Amino acid sequence: MAEVLVLVDHANGTVRKTTSELLTIARRLGEPSAVFVGDGFDAAKETLAKYGAEKVYRVESADVTDYLVAPQAELLAQLVEKTSAAAVLIPSNSAGKEIAARLAIKTDSGLITDAVDVQAGEGGGVSTTQSVFAGSYSVKSVVTKGTPIITVKPNSATPEEAAGAAADEVFEPTISEAAKGAKVTESKPKEATGRPELTEAAIVVSGGRGTGGDFSPVETFADSLGAAVGASRAAVDAGWYPHTSQVGQTGKQVSPQLYVACGISGAIQHRAGMQTSKTIIAINKDEEAPIFELVDFGVVGDLFTVLPQATEAVNAAKG
């Protein structure tokens, strides 16, 4: 079976959920081989094996790790050639999309970004689905040239366990001087909030313009549930919450078990980032707000009254 390369998304060996999703997808197409760049492989190995990686190419060369993303495209191009890979799957984040674009040029291959589904196509190809125009159209595509290079959005597959050998091999790429044009001079983790990562959280509580800039009841309620905090673009544009927390078409796509929208009207661009959540609750003063069209439970009320009561009830239930 042909190898399918999966670029691992991790922080010092803590593998992000997107990687288990990509390994799950890779098994539909061939034999998953993870590509692990940087330190922390020992911590990552168990997770990579658990989701079916048969091989892991470890890249520890400072020629890659000391620079921004260009060397990663070169090393992946060399691995594509070495393995005759059936496809390359890359997380759809900003770094991933840059790597994928550079890789497609280097390998003279077709590129599909932001796929929400990837399946084995008829006749051995790879068939992908993209969701466009804020989710109102679904586009199916196939790569017709070279090795399919595909970036996949988070939450596009449910990670499924399948024991893999995760046999590791150190891979020493040859990196050109041109790819070393931008060096990392400092890298420090952002201040820990103690909350889960937005795209990985089982529960997300989001605030919108209705908060008037005061996110404290949203955060307190989120913390009572162990949830991540999201925000609408209106709240982000107003400078009330960071862009990294924006949910929607031009923000992050989330698909938690529970999504609670507080003071958010439910514009189509917001829905594009959260409408696949399993259960949706909205709190809004306006009973005509469009968000109520897609909720499982709706509360018509002022979030500054409803959220403290809900927080109290959750804390009481926890004892």
Footprint of ligand FAD on this chain (CB under 6 A)?
208-210, 232-235, 246-251, 263-265, 267, 269-270, 273, 283-286, 289, 302-304
How, if at all, do strands 203-207 and 149-152 pair?
unpaired
Closest distance to ligand FAD from the beta carbon of 224 (Å): 18
Question: Does 284 count as an annotated binding residue?
Answer: yes
Backbone φ and ψ of 105, nearest 5°: -65, -45
- Annotated ligand binding at 283? The verdict is no
Question: What is the nearest approach in angstroms of ligand FAD to the Cβ of residue 229?
Answer: 14
Which DSSP letter does residue 97 get? Answer: H
Token reading at 315: 């804390």
Q: In this structure, what DSSP letter does residue 281 have? A: E
Which amino acid, residue 253? Q
Instruction: Please report how close the Cβ of residue 288 comes to ligand FAD at its closest, in angstroms.
Output: 8
270 assigned ligand-binding residue: yes
Supply the minimum distance, in Å, between the C-beta of residue 157 and ligand FAD.
22
CA dist 281 and 139 (Å) reads 29
Closest contact distance (angstroms) between CB of 260 and ligand FAD is 12
Tell me if 232 is assigned to a ligand binding site.
yes
Q: What is the DSSP letter of 290?
A: G
CA distance 87 to 29: 8
Rounded distance between C-alpha atoms, residue 77 and residue 80, angstroms: 5
Q: Which residue number, 286 or 312, has a Cβ lying nearer to ligand FAD?
A: 286
Q: Is 260 annotated as a binding residue?
A: no
Within a 10 A sphere around the Cβ of 131, how many other Cβ atoms?
21
Is the CB of 38 or the CB of 290 nearer to ligand FAD? 290
Q: How far is the CB of 261 from ligand FAD (least distance, A)?
A: 8
* Whole-angstrom distance, CA of residue 115 vs CA of residue 21: 12
Element (H, E) at 300: strand 297-300
Q: Do the annotations mark residue 266 as ligand-binding?
A: yes
By beta-carbon proximity to ligand FAD, the closer residue of 126 and 235 is: 235
Least distance CB 117 / ligand FAD (angstroms):
21
195 annotated as a binding-site residue: no
Q: Residues with Cβ < 8 Å from 7, sequence gap 6 or more?
A: 22, 35, 37, 72, 76, 88, 89, 90, 91, 96, 99
Tell the burial category of 15 from Cβ atoms under 10 Å away from its Cβ (0-12, 13-18, 19+). Answer: buried
Q: Is 249 annotated as a binding residue?
A: yes
Radius of gyration of the chain (CA): 21
Cα 238 to Cα 66, 216, 251, distances in angstroms: 36, 16, 15
Q: Write down the least CB distance from residue 92 to ligand FAD, Å.
A: 15
Indicate the residue among 129 and 269 with the shorter CB distance to ligand FAD.
Answer: 269
Residues 6+ apart with CB under 8 A from 296: 279, 280, 281
Ligand-binding site membership of 298 (annotated) = no
Segments in 30-61 forming alpha helices (H)? 41-50
Pick between residue 213 and residue 226 the one whose CB is nearest to ligand FAD: 213
- 147 vs 232, beta carbon nearer ligand FAD: 232
Q: Which of 164/251 has CB closer to ligand FAD? A: 251
Q: Is 269 a known ligand-binding residue? A: yes
Q: Judged by CB, which is closer to ligand FAD: 110, or 290?
A: 290
Which amino acids are annotated as binding site for FAD, given as ranges? 209, 232-233, 246-250, 263-270, 284
Which amino acids are annotated as binding site, given as ranges? 209, 232-233, 246-250, 263-270, 284
